[in-house]
A and B are shown apart, each in its own frame.
Chain A
Amino acid sequence: MTPYGSFTFFIILAVLLTPTAVMGLMGKRFHTYNMVITVVALGLIFASSLKQAAALSLFTVWQLVIIQSYISYRKKSNSNGVFYGAVILSILPLVLSKLLPYFSEVNFIGFLGISYLTFKGTQLVMETRDGLIKKNPPLSRLLYFILFFPTISSGPIDRYRRFEKDMDLEIQGEQYKLLLYEGINKIFRGFLYKYIIGYSINHYFIANLRFIAHSHLENHLYYMYAYSLYLFFDFAGYSAFAVGVSYIMGIKSPENFNKPFLSRNIKDFWNRWHMSLSFWFRDYVYMRFVFWMTKKKWTKNRNLLSNLGYILLFLLMGVWHGLEMQYIIYGIYHAVLMVAYNSFEQLNKKHKWWPQNKWTNVISIVITFHFICFGFYIFSGQLFHKGA
């Protein structure tokens, strides 16, 4: 069963979450019950594929062993080699699951949500290295964090220390009432985005483009804008469901979107689109790369450092989506945009070519919107296929 994929899923969810809501409104702790429903929900999600269920179980054990061993090791020592080894081992199943389909017809490693679970696992290793996680977390809590079902299939990617704070919080009935209200509001937004707007764009517009467009160019142009909106409403709808259900379970999972089509530039866009992923890459790829380059003193040019960091970040992000041509080009496209904008920003600070006012802000939003849509057009793969 796909999470948030059918009305049946929501009916089951409502039944499972009713005791949570009742306990929350009474001001009682509900995390133990929520752990039980997480097991039930995971059972429902993976019941249709025992292969995926087995892969998920093995993956979880693999991550737990790496995380717990590294935390225990880090208390005594701090070798670079062990850290790099732990990170490589943590991302290894994801890399294999991405590569395996090119060599074998059976992908026995992959399962729904492997990317997002990997991001969580690797994050724990990195934060342990930084000394932010000092103690071995209780096994049940670690499992609950990694396998938290509302966000299992496509995030948002939560941070362990933030998650832990929510777990320890004593929520009063009145406070929970607000969380419940916000959660329900987000779920309704999810229905509006995914089931009404996203579905309508895809079903009534994109599917009928060949009857609507009068020329090949028109077809591609309509597809570019329609697909961009469809992708947003599809993913933002999913995220609204995931965050809404998390709220009802007393966990304030981070938001993934903040009006991305109102971005004033490409940097602003990546602070608004798929935020939990872009912040993950910013913190664990970009910042580490810049820090490492600075430490090694390979270059003193901060602008060059920053641009190299962006190139690495977006190439990795592109490849993470898949090894197909459209994802690699999508990564390169955003790397180029980011480097170009970064250079423009530096020059503009000196020369003041583009002042900040109401009008230039509106023009910036319009220009950025078109660049973003072209990026999604690349991402959709239509550029590399015949016809839309």
Chain B
Amino acid sequence: MIARLKVFFANQKIKWFGRFFYYLLILLLLFFMYGFNDASAGAYIYNDF
């Protein structure tokens, strides 16, 4: 079972679709959270040091 899953996820097309949906999900989440505003997610903690 694990070997079959490994073969499945090693497929280039699956990898490409995986990446595509990963990027799309991030873009959609950014859009839902911030809309078209030039929002900031707050200052970076380590910029203070």
Contact = CB atoms under 8 A, between A and B. Distances in A.
Interface in B27-49: 29-30, 33-34, 38-47, 49
Given A2-B43, A2-B44, A7-B39, A195 B34 contact: yes
A185 B45 CA distance: 23
Contacts of A112: 47
B22 interface: yes
B26 interface: yes
A325 to B, nearest CB: 16
B41 A198 contact: yes
A238 B44 contact: yes
B8 interface: no
Interface centre among A8, A115, A192 (most CB of B within 10 A): A192
| Dominant secondary structure of chain A at its interface with chain B | helix
| Dominant secondary structure of chain B at its interface with chain A | helix
A196 B29 contact: yes
Nearest to A200: B33
B33 A195 contact: yes
B5 to A, nearest CB: 21
Contacts of A235: 44-46
A4 B23 contact: no
Contacts of B40: 2, 5-6
A365 interface: no
Interface string A229-241: 0010011001000
Contacts of B33: 195-196, 199-200
Contacts of A194: 41, 44
Nearest to A198: B41
A46 to B, nearest CB: 13
A81 to B, nearest CB: 30
Given A7-B34, A196-B30, A196-B33, A188 B39 contact: no
21 contacts: A2-B40, A5-B40, A115-B49, A154-B44, A185-B19, A191-B26, A191-B30, A192-B26, A192-B29, A194-B41, A195-B30, A195-B33, A195-B41, A196-B26, A198-B41, A199-B41, A231-B45, A235-B44, A235-B46, A238-B46, A320-B49
